[in-house]
Structure 1
Amino acid sequence: MENKDNIIVNLTFQFALDIIKYTEELQENKKFVIANQLLKSGTSIGANIREAQNAESKADFIHKFKISAKEIEQTFYWLELCKFSDNNFPSVESLINQLENISRIVNKIIITSKNK
């Protein structure tokens, strides 16, 4: 899936694929609760952004992006639990870096959309 014109759609789609891969690794290590939470929040980011592409109004568009921003924060939470846990979770550094980039773009889109 590639949408050449929409960077945030592409970034969040790739992030969702990477989250799926990471959570499959967690499930293999029997870390089911964190895996399920991370899978839900990490894939929801892009789903809401995708839905915003067909928003019925500017307010609806902003609302979908705000939901994505909330899911980003939740995903940061689960990734940080993995990072700082004493239970030997696989490295989350690249996922955190991707998410920081996505977060900056999402917040900029929200601010820009509000000012239009």
Structure 2
Amino acid sequence: MKISEYKNDPKDIKIRCYKYSVEVIKYVASVDVGRKFQSIVDQFIRSATSIGANVVEGKSAHSKRDFIKFYEIALKSANETKYWICLLRDGLELNNINSLLKEADEISKVLATIIIKSKKTK
């Protein structure tokens, strides 16, 4: 499934983050950055897949405090992912990466909204 097929359906952020991770992995598999820049790509994959991993952990949290903590970590990972995408796009001039940047930004907004609403409710 392409990002465009689910980007407007934030109902289940867990599924959205999982699909985003898959898209990132497929994108990385399709580009050749050379050995010199592999560490940047590795960081990109780690941060992108960490978003969904923390959402999954948050969904099974035993307390609201833990839930919020994991979602805050997921948000930080999403922001880190945006950094790596911009670095890859601008430093290595990789094409077709802007859709991944846009989705990371949208996921960040959804996560931030969930965190804010969770902090407001008791």
* 8 Å CA contact 1:24, 1:35 repeated in 2: no
* 8 Å CA contact 2:55, 2:74 repeated in 1: yes
C-alpha separation in 2, matches of 1:44 and 1:23: 16
Matched, 1:73 2:76: no
* 8 Å CA contact 1:23, 1:36 repeated in 2: no
Q: Report how far residue 47 of structure 1 moved.
A: 0.4
Structure 1: give runs of 5+ residues left out of the alignment: 1-5
C-alpha separation in 1, matches of 2:108 and 2:88: 19
Q: Report how far residue 91 of structure 1 moved.
A: 2.3
Report the TM-score when normalising by structure 2.
0.83
* 8 Å CA contact 1:42, 1:75 repeated in 2: yes
Q: 1:105 aligns with which of 98, 110, 116?
A: 110
* Deviation >4 Å, runs of 4+: none
Name which of structure 1's ranges 90-99 and 59-68 shifts more when overlaid on structure 2.
Answer: 90-99
Identical aligned pairs, as a percentage? Answer: 32
* 8 Å CA contact 1:23, 1:38 repeated in 2: no
Report the TM-score when normalising by structure 1.
0.87
Matched, 1:54 2:51: no
What is the root-mean-square deviation of aligned Cα atoms in Å?
Answer: 1.8
Q: Report how far residue 25 of structure 1 moved.
A: 2.7
The 3-state SS of whatever aligns with 1:112 is helix
The C-alpha deviation readout for 1:11-64, integer Å capped at 9, x for no partner, is 1011000111122234x3324112100110000000000111110100000000
Matched, 1:16 2:38: no
* 8 Å CA contact 1:41, 1:71 repeated in 2: yes
Q: Report how far residue 69 of structure 1 moved.
A: 0.8
Q: 2:93 aligns with which of 60, 67, 88?
A: 88
